[in-house]
Each structure stands twice: as C-alpha cells, then as structure tokens.
Chain A
Amino acid sequence: MNLSRLSTQPWMLWRRQVAAILRMELKKSLFSKRAWWIYILTLGPVAITGLHSLVGRNGGHSMADDNMIFAGIFQVYFLRLGIFFGCLGIFSNLFRAEVLERTLHYYFMSPVRREVLAVSKYLAGVIAAVIYFTGSVVLSFLFISAHWGPVFQQYLLRGGGLHQLGWYALTTALACVGYGSVFLLTGVIYRNPMIPAAVVFIWENLNPFLPSLLKKFSIVFYLKSLCPVGDIPVDGPLAFLATMTDPTPAWLAIPGLLLLSSLVLAYAAAKARKLEVSYSE
C-alpha cells in the first residue's frame, strides 16, 4: 500500500509510524548508559529482598510480617521514590536526551505528526518502565518470602498471594503510566527537568494534606487506593507516606488515573507540536 493511500487512512499510517519509532526508542530506553541509576533503583530492592530470603529464616518473624514489610517497601520506596525517580529519568530524557545529543531534528524532519511522535516515545518509555519496575516489584515480592518455602508457595498459589502480586504489578504499571505522562510533559516544556521534578515530588508527597478536590490531581492519590495492603504501620517522619486518607474504589481509581494521564499526555503532545530544535544552550 503506498503512502498517498495511507494518508487517507491515517490510523494505518500512524500505526506503522508508532511501530517504527518504538523500534528505535525501546533500544534507547531499555539499554542506555544514561540509565545506570535506574538499574540501581530497580535492582536495589531485588538485591535487598534476595538477601533477606537468604538470611531471613532465622529472623524470628512470621510470613505476615514479611508481607507487611513488602507493603511498606512498595508504598514508601517503590511508589514514592523508585518509580517516581525512575520515570523522571526515563521520560524526561525522551526528548531532552535527544536535544543533548543533537539528534532530535531527525524525527522533526520526518513526515510524522508531532503528536504521534510524542505518543510513540511515551509508549516506549512506558514499556521500558513497566519492564524495569514491574520486574523489580514481582521479584522483590517473591524474594522477600521465598525463605518460607512450601508455605509461601501455598500462599502464592492458593492463599491469595497471586492476587496480591497481581495488584502490586498493576499498580506499578499504572504508576509508570501516570508518572510517565507527567515527566514527558516536564521534559517537553523544560530544559532542566530537576526543578519541575522537585515541584511534582513535593506536590505528590503533600497529597495527604491536600483538600479532597486537589488530591485528585495527583498520581499517588489513585495508586495508594490500588495497593492491596491498605494501612501499614510506618513509624517516624515517613508515616504520612503510608497513610490512606481518602480511599477510592479501584473501579474509580483506575479510570481516574488513566484519564488524568491521558489529559497530561495530550497536553504534552500539543506542546511537542510547537517544540523547536535549538541545541545552542
């Protein structure tokens, strides 16, 4: 089918263009020297929980304790730090890294709608982030209780463990979708993503203290409602990070987060349309 015919069938054309851009972008997002610290963010908890599975047998605790500890790791580390900063690294660089490497113009000199380009890059980022962080969450979940052997297997297969793991994986994937859209936008608008990232970080962590309406403009608001273990006992200054202040049912939280992410993505795509190539600064 030639291109003139395709131009009358834009979906077909866009599908091909998205596939072509994904092919190039996935390589960059998955295997990049710049991403070394993202590997650390993902491998860190895997290493720690792996270590726990080796020495945890003599810890004088129950499997329920491990379960609760993982819930704490997930809510405090993964949601608030790991996925947040991992997505910052992956999605801010989708455009910015190409500006630094002076290669963005090759995309801009292709007959592709900037919106299609932005969405394709976003999809590549989401795929990479989901592979990294869902992988990390799943392995950490399995490792933290692995030392319980057949009891854990039983829990996993027949006691609701798999269901819990599924929700953790889904929440992780949705976190990548949500934070990805936010950091794609900051990467398109700002040359230096650190200041907007700091603002987003403060906004997300202020969530428990925000009025009900404003809470809905935060990614973590929806994610916390999806966590399979709700209130977890976290002591000290980080306690507020694990507090569930305004629980929302999943049937509202999931579409709510997807809607918010779509709006942010649409705005980022519109901004990308007006982006200029300027490598001078």
Chain B
Amino acid sequence: MSEPRILFDNVSRFYGEVLGVNRVNLSIPPGVTSLVGPNGSGKTTLMNLMTGLIRPSRGAISVLGIPPTRPEELFRKMGYCTQFDAFPKGLTGYQFIYSFLLVHGMIPSEAARLTGEALQRVNMTQAADRPVAAYSKGMRQRIKLAQAIAHRPTVLVLDEPLNGLDPMARAETIALFKQFGDEGRHVIVSSHILHEVDRISDQVILLSHGYVVAEGQIQDVRSEVKDQPMQILVRCDKPGLLASRLFEQDHVVEAKVNEDGRGLLVRTRDADNLYLLLNRIVLDNGLEVEAVAPADDDVNSVYQYLIGGEGGTT
C-alpha cells in the first residue's frame, strides 16, 4: 500500500487578476517539508489551499485522500498554525485551546487532558491561566502552536512558526517538528530562517512568483541545478598539491585553499567525476584526507541559485 500523501493536481489560485499560485503539481510524502520562497511567492496561498481556508480557481487537492472542502474530516487529521496573530477575545491560553477542542466534539475531560498535554509540549503550562491578550509575541506563537497540535494531528501545517520565538524556544520548536517528522507525520513548514529549516527538512519546495521552482530532497534539488558548479570542501594535509592536480580537469572551475592551510574548497561542474578523481589523487600522492563534504547542498544555497538574493535571516 502506498504511503499517504498530500496531492496538488494542476492547482491554480488567482485573487482577481493577481496570481496566487499557478499550475502547482505536488506529491508531498510524510516527513518535514519546507516551503521556501520570498514574500509573495505563494507559500501562504499554498498552505491556505491545503487547509481549505481558500479554494483553488483550478485543479484539485487531496490531503491523505480527503479534499479540503470537507473540513469536518480534514481537521480531525490536520492542525494549522497560521500567521494571523489574532485570538478570540477574553480567553486565557488554557481556555483558547480547551474551547476549540470542545468544538471538535470532545467530552470536557478529554479536552482538558489534551489541553494540558499541548501546553506542556510548548512549555506554556505556567502561563496557561493568563489572558492571551497579555502574552508576548513569542508566547502567542507558542499558544497557537499548542492549539494546532492539541488534537494530535497527523498533518501539521505551520506558516512561519518560528517568528517571534527566542533562540531557546526556537530550538525546542524545531526539535518538536523533527520529532513529528520522525514519527511519520506530515509537517509542512514555511520559514524565512533557512539555516534552521535546513536542519530538519526531509524535502523542500521552492516557490517563486506563484510557481513551484523546484521540489524534492534538498541534495537532489541541488544536483539538478546544473548551471551552478557544486562546491565541495576537502579537508586534507596537502591542499596546494590537491589544487594543482584538480586544475588539470576541465570541470573544476575554482579551487580555494582554506585560511588554516588544511582544506580546499572546490567548485566543479561534475561532482561525481571529482569524487572518482579524488580517490586517484589520494592514492597516487599519499594525501591524508580527513573529510570530503558538499558545501552548498543546503536550502540557503539552493534558494540563492534558483531564486536569487539572500535566502533567509537568523
């Protein structure tokens, strides 16, 4: 039996004359998937389509076999932490989560138990009885996250969930996403903080101007970017010698010795060939190699190559 997926079949969404997303075809497997793209690229539109908050102008969407037009089924399996920083008035953090669990149809004791559990997961138990209106930005972000995960969804959609979080909370939240992904759930996350997203993403979807520019595992996406030579870092004892040998090859476009004299950053148009060549050079010249690793198969580099500009901030 094939694994449950989130499917977009030729989906377009227009806001009047303005393009939201266009002709999106996606098949998202379980794990952590990052939506990456500049402001206005269509990340939030894609998430709102997935969750049924808006409807496609064209095409069809299915989340684990459920169309988003059936929220009564979809949101038993899905939790969505939106970017909207607004809350129903007059509720404490506890009441906020508890009230909406009751809307699920849960009995009070079950709702209370899950509320407590969710508050604990985001470290908000202490502040649970304070009004949400008195919360800091980071606390509001965490209480939204708690509300999204309280009913233990198998699909979690998170729009800029790290915004406003301090470094400690950010690390804890990222660990939580990673845990959800490892448990085989779908975690769809959009974030500007690319280097942090990069650490947890199993796959990435790059968006620009409403189009999906690339999708898949980040290493695969990187290797598809043929016009940008791959950067490979080689830690070895004789980087100068290695550089001179590598320059004999056509596919090597640059080799830069590290400042500490113990490594070489190589840019090549043919990574596979480079790895084979390295083996030969090492054997022929008796080089001691500590490590060989790609230096630009991360989200940030791929973002820069495909979309341009600085990918994200810390």
Contact = CB atoms under 8 A, between A and B. Distances in A.
Given A109-B75, A109-B80, A278 B103 contact: no
B102 A23 contact: yes
B104 interface: yes
A20 B99 contact: yes
Nearest to B87: A103
A277 B188 CA distance: 20
B102 A20 contact: yes
B72 A111 contact: yes
Contact of B105 (A6, A24, A108, A276): A6
DSSP majority for the A interface? helix
A101 interface: yes
A39 interface: no
Interface residues of B, number: 31
Given A103-B88, A109-B80, A111-B75, A276 B53 contact: yes
Interface string B98-113: 0110111111000000
Given A16-B102, A106-B100, A114 B71 contact: yes
Contacts of A13: 105
Nearest to A107: B103
Contacts, number: 87
B226 interface: no
Interface centre among A17, A19, A21, A106 (most CB of B within 10 A): A106
Interface in A1-27: 1, 3, 6, 13, 16-17, 19-21, 23-24, 27
A156 to B, nearest CB: 40
A113 B103 CA distance: 11
A105 B103 contact: no
Given A3-B76, A101-B89, A103-B87, A112 B103 contact: yes
Interface in A171-216: none
Contacts of A116: 72
Interface centre among B71, B76, B78 (most CB of A within 10 A): B71
B54 A278 contact: yes
Contact of A24 (B72, B86, B99): B99
Interface string B49-86: 00111110000000000000001111110111010101
B103 A17 contact: yes
A110 interface: yes
Contact of B71 (A19, A110, A279): A110
A106 B105 contact: no
A110 B84 contact: no
Interface string A27-41: 110000000000000
Nearest to A1: B107
Interface string A103-138: 101111111111010000000000000000000000
Interface in A260-281: 274, 276-279
Interface centre among A28, A111, A112, A278 (most CB of B within 10 A): A111
Contacts of A106: 88, 100, 147
B301 interface: no
B26 to A, nearest CB: 21
Contacts of B106: 3, 16
A57 interface: no
A232 to B, nearest CB: 43
B48 interface: yes
Given A24-B88, A277-B48, A105 B82 contact: yes
B86 A102 contact: yes
Contacts of B84: 102-103, 105, 279
Contacts of B90: 27
Nearest to A32: B89
A112 B105 CA distance: 8
Nearest to B98: A20
Given A111-B74, A114-B71, A23 B104 contact: no
B255 to A, nearest CB: 51
B86 A274 contact: no
B100 A105 contact: no
Contacts of A102: 84, 86
B252 to A, nearest CB: 50
Contacts of A1: 107
A3 B99 contact: no
A111 B76 contact: yes
A111 B53 contact: no
Contacts of A20: 99, 102-103, 105
A190 to B, nearest CB: 17
Given A103-B87, A108-B71, A276 B82 contact: no
A276 B87 contact: no
Contacts of A277: 48, 53-54
Interface of B: 48, 51-55, 71-76, 78-80, 82, 84, 86-90, 99-100, 102-107, 147
Given A105-B84, A108-B71, 6 more contacts: A3-B104, A16-B102, A16-B107, A106-B100, A111-B75, A276-B55
Interface of A: 1, 3, 6, 13, 16-17, 19-21, 23-24, 27-28, 101-103, 105-114, 116, 274, 276-279
Name the 3 nearest CB pairs between A and B, nearest first.
A20-B102, A102-B86, A111-B75
